[in-house]
Every structure is written in C-alpha cells, then in structure tokens.
Amino acid sequence: MTEAPQTTIVFLLFPGITQLDFTAPAQALCRLPGARLIGAAASLDPIPTDCGFAILPTHDFAAAPQADILCVPGGHGVVEALGDRATIDFIARQAAGATWVTSVCTGAFLLGRAGLLEGRRATTHWAYTHLLPMVGARHEAARVVEDGPVVTSGGVTSGLDFALTLVARMRGDAAAQAIQLAIEYDPAPPFAGGHPDRAPAAVTEGLKARVYDAAAARMAAALKS
C-alpha cells in the first residue's frame, strides 16, 4: 500500500485564543493520513486560552516548518494579535508557501490584516461579519466559505465543519466521512438556536448587549489602528 504523503498543518497560537477554534479542527485534521500538526507561537511559553487552561506550542515562529495547510483560529485575543507585527508577518510568510490558507471564527481578521482576504468572499463569527469589509472581504452567509485556496469558517464549532470540508477537497468525500464517523460528529443540539437566524430574538439581543456589541467595537478599533 502506498504511504500517504505528509501534510504539515500549522495552527497559529496566541494568548486569548478560543481553544475550540483550534482543538476542533485539529481533532479532525490529525486523522488525515500523513498529517503532521504544528502549534506555532511567538515563543514556547504556554498559551493561555479563553477557558482558563493553557496550550503548549510545539514550535516558535522561527522554527515552525512551512505549512501545507495554515489555520488561524480566533478568540478575544485577536484584538491584541492584530497589532503584533511578528504574528502578522508569520501569517503572511506561511501563507505565501501554503496550499490552503484557512481561518476559524475571528481568525479571519488576522488573515485580513496580513492582506489575504482582499477581494475575497469570507465569513467569520456572526457577531463580527459586518466588519469583514474593513479587511477587504465580502461577507458570504455560510458556515464555511471557500474562495480559491482560502477557506474561512464561522464561529467556534464551525471549525469542525471546515476541517471535514477541507479533507473532502484533499482526499475525497469518503475520507471525510470516515473521519466524521470516527469522531462521531452527529450533532443533535438540544436547541435549534446556534445562529441568529434561528435563535430567539431576545436571546440574540441579550448576548449582543452583554458580550458582542463591546467586543465588535474593540475589534473595529483594532482594525482601524
């Protein structure tokens, strides 16, 4: 049997990352035959996540190998990362040699700051889609948006959908279906309210008022700087 070619998958890690933006696609993509997963950060120090625990990078930016697939997760730490030149330069440098350039949630804005979304269709977390024109992108209302080699996905859990979509593009539907079955990704949520199009209006407005109005304003200010 022919051995699967090695595929190097580099995930950007930064303080304040939403851990599921990283761990959900990582759990699917690590099952791609030949996959080699890299967690790259500015240093090898533990990376604090939004859940109160930390993730250890495997490489710093200088030592990280060239990605075949570059994945940029999101999180509230994106606001600070937008102003970090080393982070943006790393994204741009890796993207130049990658076959696929991808993001989960607000990671799209880091791709945009690196000049990778100009004129492209893209998506991000629903609370931030109105900001995509600030990085030259056109919002497309979809959970996963493919525009050539650039694949963006919506908020948090959509990272799993993006990963399976990408496996299907690379290795065929059967390979993606096998991974989906292996991880028993068979969602049956208790509520049909995972997007503002379906959630009760009072729930959406309450969440925006408590969290996302201020968070989107901070993101907009960072994008303007």
Can 105 be counted among the known catalytic residues? Answer: yes
C-alpha torsion sign, points 12, 97, 180, 199: positive
Distance (Å, whole) CA 104 – CA 88: 16
Q: By CB neighbour count within 10 A (0-12 exposed, 13-18 middle, 19+ buried), where does 74 fall?
A: buried
Distance (Å, whole) CA 40 – CA 56: 9
Distance (Å, whole) CA 132 – CA 88: 17
Please list the active-site residues.
Answer: 105
